[in-house]
Amino acid sequence: MTASSPPPLLVLGSASPRRLELLAQIGIVPAALRPADIDETPRKAETPRDYVRRMAVDKAKAVHVADGEALLTADTTVAVGRRILGKPRDRLEAAQFMRLMSGRRHLVLTAVALRHDGRTRHRLVQTKVRMRPLSEAELQRYLDAGDWQGKAGGYAIQGAAAAYIPWIQGSFSAVVGLPLSETAAMLAAVGLHGQHEGGVA
């Protein structure tokens, strides 16, 4: 982008209402939503960091981008050691994930990719999260509420599971689904600024 050219139109390559809400917090309103449809199966022996980075970049590759557009994609995963905890398939798997995290620390990894003008930039943000020990009764009440559905690791830090998380180290917004500081810097680099900053969203 030259100094005289207008900023690109932002396309969000996600159907996540949480990512849309996070962008709104920094005054960014996408011009369009184009969710990416890709195979999210981890490769054999793929590390959580490599996996989440690949997912964000693969999503950026999968969505059509026209001239004058910038595409933002992201992926979030939960990791316990080298084990990737994606979105649980059912209640049983959600219970397994929550028991695995109960009383210990885990990592939430969020990768962001920005495709613009033939180039794709990406960033990986790591946040450490501690979940307090859960009793079986607490776990069953949580599963009954259904808040685990569609969430990496089986929980959302801004949802019911907030009661179980006394400590994090890193980016809260990244755990929700989009690291806002890093994302804002990436967008600013291509001329996209939040409305409250006096720029164009």
If you search the block for the tokens 């992926």, which residue do you land on? Answer: 75
Q: Which of 50, 75, 144, 147 is catalytic?
A: 75
Helices 91-101 and 136-145, packing angle to 10 deg: 140
Backbone angles phi, psi at 157, to 5 degrees: -65, -25
Establish whether 147 is a catalytic residue. Answer: no
Structure tokens at 194: 């939040």
- CA gap 142, 94 in Å, rounded: 10
If you search the block for the tokens 């917004």, which residue do you land on? Answer: 173
If you search the block for the tokens 């994930």, which residue do you land on? Answer: 97
Residues acting as catalytic residues = 75
